[in-house]
Structure 1
Amino acid sequence: MEIIPSATTKRQSQENWKKHGLIFICVTYIIFAAVFLSFLQLRSPKVIPTADRSAEFSAERAFTHLEKFAVAPHPLGSKEHDKVRDYLMESLQELGLNPEIQKADSFYQSSSRISGGAVENITAKIKGKNSTKAIMLVAHYDSVPGSPGAADDGAGVSAILETVRALKETKPLQNDVIILLTDGEENGMLGAKAFVNEHPWAKDIGLVLNFEARGNEGPSLMFETSDNNSWIVKEFIEAAPTPVIHSFIYSLYKLMPNDTDLTVFKEAGLNGLNFAFGEGLSHYHTTSDNLQELSKESLQHHGEYMLSLVRHFGQLDLAQTKEGNEVFFNIFGSTVISYPEDLVTPIMIMIVILFILTIAHGYKREKLSLPGTLGGFLITIFGMIGSFAIGFGLWSLLTSISPEKRWILETDTVFGTVYLLSFSLIIFAFSAFLYKLAAKKIMTGSLAAGSLLTWLVFVIAASLHLKAGSYIFAWPLFFGLIGINIFIYMKEAVSYKYIILACFALPGFLIASPVIYLIQKLMSMEIAGILAVLVFLLGILLTPIFSTLKIKADWFIPSILLCAGLAILVTNSVNANKVPTAEHRAVSDIIYLQDADKNEAYWIARYGLDDYTSNYINKDIKEGNISSIFPPFSWEGHYGQAELYGLKAPDVTVFSDMAVLSKIDGNKRELIYELKTNRSAEEILMKSLLPITVSELFINHKKVELNNQYAKPQPLLLTYIPGETGRVNIKITVDYKDKVEWIVADRSYNIPEIKEERSEKYSSYGDSSFVMKTIRD
């Protein structure tokens, strides 16, 4: 027998739908308002016009310097580099300083590589009235070979020049201010190493302020500090007008394959702060890091930090003892919350106790059960795995459909942000669907407690192992637990409890939303799976809303979220299909390789074939690892035969090959080479093709401290920027029985023939040519 609902039942059902629909709209507005407020912290300050406030920093004035020196690539060893050096020296002299050039050979080591070069640091000093220790402003003036370096690091250099001008407008500070424009940063922080190892001023430094860029726009983040930072961070918060700081960012930065000059200064025991803007990753180290693309607001933010901090710390005792570390983060724009790391463990204990009390409260009111809570926890773990699969799967699908556009999709600011939004809505839809389904078997209170138990695991793990990032999990959970307790306490029929719950989820969205955004900006959508998990964790703060709100049908809310997310994703993908354009450029490089032994040459395209590289590689095309034709590097790419342009290979002179007796290690073999470029190439490289054990190495008669034996699969690769001499002397001591076989090559930051101008829809890391030869026993 069919039961027909009464008119009263239908009317009540419709009223509930309307009520729940209104609640859903209110909750949506609350969440979007929280996300909007959280992003206010990511605004850069407005640019101060040149004519206004002469004693203040003006990005317009700083930009006039950039127009003079950030107009072409100026890597270490290039002629353009020397022009930039001379301009900076003249500019500092015009500002009333007495700059000097520190010349030195400097070296950097990684597990398989030694890089070095003849660097020329620019140093100057503004004397203080009664200095305790000096403040040192640092930026590097070299660029990578393919980029004009307007942001990296022209913005930092020009900001220093403008800061010096502003400082000259006011009375002298108590402390000295040292200006250090380092050289060779892009080759392994060579200038910074030379300064701390050889310059007499290194012992006088009390605080280092280093300025960098990993993009061309966005707020300047204070992303790294030295250890025992509590005093410095507190003073920074007091001094900076518009601080953007999150202590978790340094933990994230350590996972990235990047170092800056501050790494060297910290290793030398100096205190410091590191600043960089990081949006516009697609412009980083490319030809589009130019004047036209640089954000003046980002430059203004650099300079605002610089001038305000120099004036503040310039009056303080920098010799005082500084102990302990600080947890810090933005909330509501420029408002910063900070507290000592010593409070992280007590906060964790407080939250554990609050969680236990919440379980007891829910159990007493029969709103949850322990088995149900465990079930809710397992469902949340399943949701995290599912979210990762969705994020990873969607991104893999998008990049497999258009593999030639992968670089743009990962690094372009606009596409990445829109994809993050679409993925977030899809993950929220998945979360709503999952908890709607689970609510048929498990009480809402149990689901909520189980999901927050997952947060508690993250709080404990972060508090024990990642104190600087513990706030990301601790405070959202703290307020979320309060909200759940109120939800449990209130009667089922009270509708506004959903609004209260959403309000207590606000701290989570205020704290975590910019964190997720910054992770995406700094790491790109390549980690879409991890970003999806973080979005899911944020969404489960709304578990009771997802699981119990009902509009017409259980799947109405998930369907709305899913349709919105898919619509944004498809629209963004359609727009991405139109790239590359002048606004959204693809990367396109071409490399010329000439093998002097085989009398062969190749064109190599590292980033695929396109309208530009196809002018060079258009027949008998091969794809794969190029180590078979160019052993020094294991790049993937397309390559094909090229015409011979008759470029001269570097000369290798063997001055000595003799047995030597070591009192410690026994018989050794000492080899002395001189390598010389015959075509004014900027870089010389030498790679061992056989396993060798290097016990001693001198480059230009300067000993290099070794930390690796350099055996396969990571044989020794040495690169050196010789400067005007065009030559480098190498003395290397290996085991007596070691056989030696070397690839010697030089690299020029240009190609022998340009067959067509590169379109504006392409940027480049820089075209290069290599000529190589082999030397053996």
Structure 2
Amino acid sequence: MEIIPSAQVEPQSRKSVKKSVLVFIILAAIILGTILLSLLQLQSPKVIPADQAAKTFSADSAFSYLEGFTVAPHPLGSKEHDNVRDYLVTTLKELGVNPEIQKANSLYTRPAYISGGTVENIVGKIEGTNSKKAIMLVAHYDSVPGGPGAADDGAGVAAIIETVRVLKEMKPLQSDVIILLTDGEENGLLGSKAFTEEHLWVKDVGLVLNFEARGNEGPAFMFETSDNNSWLVNEFVQAAPTPVAHSFIYSLYKLMPNDTDLTVFKAAGLNGLNFAFGEGLGHYHTTSDNPGELSKNSLQHHGEYMLSLVRHFGDLDLTQTGKGNTLFFNILGTNMITYSEDLVIPFMLFAVVLFVLTIIHGARRKKLSLRGTLAGLLIMLGGSIGSFVIGLGLWSLLTAILSEKEWLMGSDSLIGTTYLISFSLMIFAYLSFLYKMANKKVMVGSLAMGALLMWLLLAVAASLFLKAGSYVLVWPLIFGLLGENIFFRLKENSWAGYLVTAVFAIPGLLLFSPVVYLIYILASMKLASALMVFVFLGGALLIPIFSTLKIKSNGVIPAILLGVGLLVMVINSINLLNMPTEKHPKASDITYFMDADTQKAFWAARQPLDEYTAIYINKDVKEGNTSTFFPILNWDVTYAKADVYNVDGPSMTVLSDRTENDKRMIEYQVKTNRQAEEIVVQSLSSMNISSLLINGKDVELNKTKFTKKAPLLFAYIAGQTGELNVKVTIDANDTMEWIVADRSYSIPETKGERSPKFSTYGDNSFIMKTIRD
């Protein structure tokens, strides 16, 4: 056990209490000011009015295009989709581009299922003066069935059109500029797949700039690059007027299952950058993703990136892209720091050496011990686990009490951000209390170096396995160690010691705070447990302050932080009780399921029942899973029996059936008999499939053996033809058993009208039949 100097436990005089209050206020201002300063980077540029945009991008001008085609949902296969296609083609022609329609049967094989449909990509080109490789601007023009897609991805499409307007008024660039408005992105990246597989221009592409959205506001940040990105990133930093980009987020994104069109282009060997804005998650893929809810500042940011990068890269030789990867991150607004991935290991080794030297320095000055440092590591580890439990417990408690508001809690920006602030204050209270108690047994230096030892272990792991994100841990650690070396030479519990700790934590807070916020934006407060570990980790840079600074008694500062955190959480929860409102809508959905064989039907809702969905689900209400009555889907729902409407189910007709050399070849015509937009087929029996053709196109199968537990599943957008041709080859002794269903983006009967305070992902109806040999 370490010996604690008695000065640390003496009671405070009245004068000392006043001084401690002043120190606490100043340090709190420094910490809060640093965090707010770090978040200044997360801003979009100001909107440029249309009348000031002769040769620059104007969100106002782009918005006028957006309003022309985001008037209603326009998913692949719908009639409104054709209207949007025609509008975009006409608009590009009026701007002097001669677009073509690339119509293709596109299939995309994923691990769990196959998606497909007939897509109509819109492709055009602005000729360059001496093009070796072209820049390709990409956004998808299809929407989800539930909303008009103003942000996802109308903003990207409108930005491309406005950029085309400006480019046509400029002198030509050296490189060609290809405009690609992809189709069927929402159904499985079908348009980009068709372009890379079938279009002749794919070989001409030197750089892809893809634009997306996962909300309706906030800064557009560059969140993904192709591999060997050094040249791309360095040129991006030079060209982008207000760049927002973190390679740590790129590292996380690579570990996530999310895809965009750039996924397909990268797989085809093309270089590219991916951009998206992601605040306002509650509007994503819903009816409220409409022009009235879209932030014009976010649209301006899209266009600012687009035009500046096209101008910059358009006069560069895109055949010379170089090798190697670069780390990149914002610091103090839109200023960016970049350095080669080759420096990751040297910087990590420098941190290791500096840590060892700091331990030696602290031990010589009798400010720490090796045993105490190991104890500090265990306290830090236990504190991190405790933070995870606190975050999980708080979120679980709130979602249990406010279960009907859970969707708003996880998707509404105002509610989620306020909970993030309140939870973080409580984590700081926990950290302060934990380390004040620990300081009774362990010296401050040992506690601080034990925490930094955990930082070091994480930094080493990140440097080895998550290189692009290593800077988030390495640089706060280095500055923290430098601060500790100065702290060891100062008197503990002194103004100078506290100031040094705060000042040397500033670089860490500047780097760490935006990353925590961006993780929250990507994952929402549903990831509260992990987010609180990050908050605890950042707070550990301030252990010399949290462990020794006190006002009157050790419990006052933790009590203040805890009290403020709880107050913010309670006020936020009370505010939540007054929602939903038109400004803060709640998700509402209703789906109709019918088994045409058994003549049984159900209404089901994935969200808690509301005043609208309760009209449908109001008798013998049950909680369960759709797999009990519709095996293709695995949704947790609230459901009840429904009337059986006079609706024709889909059909799966055998056109031919022959056996040769132990193989059985069957050709089916699958048809929706009610003009449903989508056809879904799932195998029920075990079978070995050696080949599968959908509408004459070979399917790339990940495996050949399918069982009831691991079936073949494919969804195809039948569109206005309403049918597809399927040819399958199996072993001769296999039996054939299928579920075939069609999905319509509407329900057979509408009962009442939804209030504007509800937003929906779209109401659907599924009719299924079982087909057997």
Report the TM-score, using the length of structure 2 for normalisation: 0.97
The question of whether the paired residues in 2 share the 8 Å contact of 1:692 and 1:715 is answered with no
**Shift in Å, 1:321:** 3.9
**Shift in Å, 1:676:** 1.4
Over residues 79-136 of structure 1, what are the superposed CA-to-partner deviations in whole Å (9 max), with x where a residue is unaligned? 0000000000000000001100001000111222111000000000000000120000
Matched residue SS, 1:254? helix
1:198 alignment partner in structure 2: 198
2:688 is aligned with 1:693:
yes
1:705 alignment partner in structure 2: 700
The question of whether the paired residues in 2 share the 8 Å contact of 1:111 and 1:714 is answered with no
1:716 alignment partner in structure 2: 712
2:634 alignment partner in structure 1: 634
Q: Which amino acid aligns with 1:52?
A: Q
Q: Which amino acid aligns with 1:706?
A: L
1:386-405 superposed matches below 5 A: 386-405=386-405
2:183 alignment partner in structure 1: 183
Partners in 1 of 2:631 and 2:491 — Cα distance?
72
2:752 is aligned with 1:756:
yes
**Shift in Å, 1:20:** 1.9
Partners in 1 of 2:321 and 2:303 — Cα distance?
28
1:664 alignment partner in structure 2: none
2:696 is aligned with 1:725:
no
Partners in 1 of 2:645 and 2:491 — Cα distance?
84
1:645 alignment partner in structure 2: 645
Q: Which moved more, 1:118-127 or 1:676-685?
A: 676-685
**Shift in Å, 1:583:** 1.7
Q: Which amino acid aligns with 2:379?
A: I
Matched residue SS, 2:644? coil
Change (3 A) 1:680 1:326: same
Partners in 1 of 2:258 and 2:290 — Cα distance?
21
Matched residue SS, 2:724? strand
Over residues 516-538 of structure 1, what are the superposed CA-to-partner deviations in whole Å (9 max), with x where a residue is unaligned? 01101110111111000000000
**Shift in Å, 1:383:** 0.3
The question of whether the paired residues in 2 share the 8 Å contact of 1:372 and 1:447 is answered with yes
The question of whether the paired residues in 1 share the 8 Å contact of 2:216 and 2:279 is answered with yes
2:734 is aligned with 1:738:
yes
Matched residue SS, 2:13? helix
Q: Which amino acid aligns with 1:567?
A: L
The question of whether the paired residues in 1 share the 8 Å contact of 2:232 and 2:321 is answered with no
> 5+ unaligned residues in a row in structure 2: which ranges?
1-8
2:503 alignment partner in structure 1: 503
Matched residue SS, 1:51? helix
Q: Which amino acid aligns with 1:700?
A: N
Change (3 A) 1:468 1:392: same
1:339-378 superposed matches below 5 A: 339-378=339-378
Over residues 461-499 of structure 1, what are the superposed CA-to-partner deviations in whole Å (9 max), with x where a residue is unaligned? 000000010011011111111111111012347422211
Aligned identity (percent) is 63
2:314 is aligned with 1:314:
yes
2:539 alignment partner in structure 1: 539
Q: Which moved more, 1:204-213 or 1:678-687?
A: 678-687
**Shift in Å, 1:693:** 2.3
2:449 is aligned with 1:452:
no
**Shift in Å, 1:649:** 1.4
Change (3 A) 1:371 1:255: same
2:57 is aligned with 1:57:
yes
**Shift in Å, 1:12:** 7.0
1:3 alignment partner in structure 2: none
**Shift in Å, 1:631:** 1.3
Partners in 2 of 1:11 and 1:306 — Cα distance?
62
1:4 alignment partner in structure 2: none
2:690 is aligned with 1:674:
no
1:155 alignment partner in structure 2: 155
Q: Which moved more, 1:646-655 or 1:225-234?
A: 646-655
Q: Which amino acid aligns with 2:119?
A: V
1:408 alignment partner in structure 2: 408
The question of whether the paired residues in 2 share the 8 Å contact of 1:26 and 1:499 is answered with no
**Shift in Å, 1:323:** 0.3
Partners in 2 of 1:705 and 1:110 — Cα distance?
9
Change (3 A) 1:699 1:561: same
Matched residue SS, 2:316? coil
Give me the CA root mean square deviation: 1.3
Matched residue SS, 2:51? coil
Matched residue SS, 1:723? coil
Partners in 2 of 1:494 and 1:559 — Cα distance?
22
* Corresponding residue pairs, total: 764
Q: Which amino acid aligns with 1:774?
A: T
Q: Which amino acid aligns with 1:387?
A: S
Matched residue SS, 1:496? helix
**Shift in Å, 1:644:** 2.4
**Shift in Å, 1:11:** 11
Change (3 A) 1:88 1:12: closer
Over residues 538-588 of structure 1, what are the superposed CA-to-partner deviations in whole Å (9 max), with x where a residue is unaligned? 001000111111210011111111111111011111111222221221111
Matched residue SS, 1:771? strand
2:95 is aligned with 1:95:
yes
1:541-556 superposed matches below 5 A: 541-556=541-556
The question of whether the paired residues in 1 share the 8 Å contact of 2:683 and 2:708 is answered with no
Change (3 A) 1:124 1:443: same
1:615 alignment partner in structure 2: 615
Q: Which moved more, 1:40-49 or 1:733-742?
A: 733-742
Partners in 2 of 1:12 and 1:544 — Cα distance?
18
Q: Which moved more, 1:164-173 or 1:607-616?
A: 607-616
Q: Which amino acid aligns with 1:765?
A: Y
Matched residue SS, 1:144? coil
Matched residue SS, 1:489? coil
1:269 alignment partner in structure 2: 269
Matched residue SS, 2:50? coil
Partners in 2 of 1:493 and 1:576 — Cα distance?
42
**Shift in Å, 1:712:** 3.6
Partners in 2 of 1:346 and 1:251 — Cα distance?
20
Report the TM-score, using the length of structure 1 for normalisation: 0.97
The question of whether the paired residues in 1 share the 8 Å contact of 2:326 and 2:340 is answered with yes
Partners in 2 of 1:538 and 1:611 — Cα distance?
44
**Shift in Å, 1:692:** 2.3
Matched residue SS, 1:738? coil
Partners in 2 of 1:351 and 1:307 — Cα distance?
41
Partners in 2 of 1:328 and 1:725 — Cα distance?
49
Partners in 2 of 1:465 and 1:632 — Cα distance?
38
Q: Which moved more, 1:364-373 or 1:611-620?
A: 611-620
Over residues 146-201 of structure 1, what are the superposed CA-to-partner deviations in whole Å (9 max), with x where a residue is unaligned? 11100000000000000000111110000000000000000110000000000000
Over residues 321-370 of structure 1, what are the superposed CA-to-partner deviations in whole Å (9 max), with x where a residue is unaligned? 42000000000001000000000000000011110110000000001000
Q: Which amino acid aligns with 2:678?
A: E
Partners in 1 of 2:197 and 2:324 — Cα distance?
27
Partners in 2 of 1:609 and 1:738 — Cα distance?
44
Q: Which amino acid aligns with 1:677?
A: T
Q: Which moved more, 1:765-774 or 1:36-45?
A: 765-774
Question: Structure 1: which 4+ aligned runs deviate by more than 4 Å?
Answer: 9-12
Change (3 A) 1:325 1:10: closer
Partners in 2 of 1:580 and 1:90 — Cα distance?
40
The question of whether the paired residues in 2 share the 8 Å contact of 1:685 and 1:717 is answered with yes
Change (3 A) 1:453 1:12: closer
Q: Which amino acid aligns with 2:550?
A: K
Matched residue SS, 2:675? coil
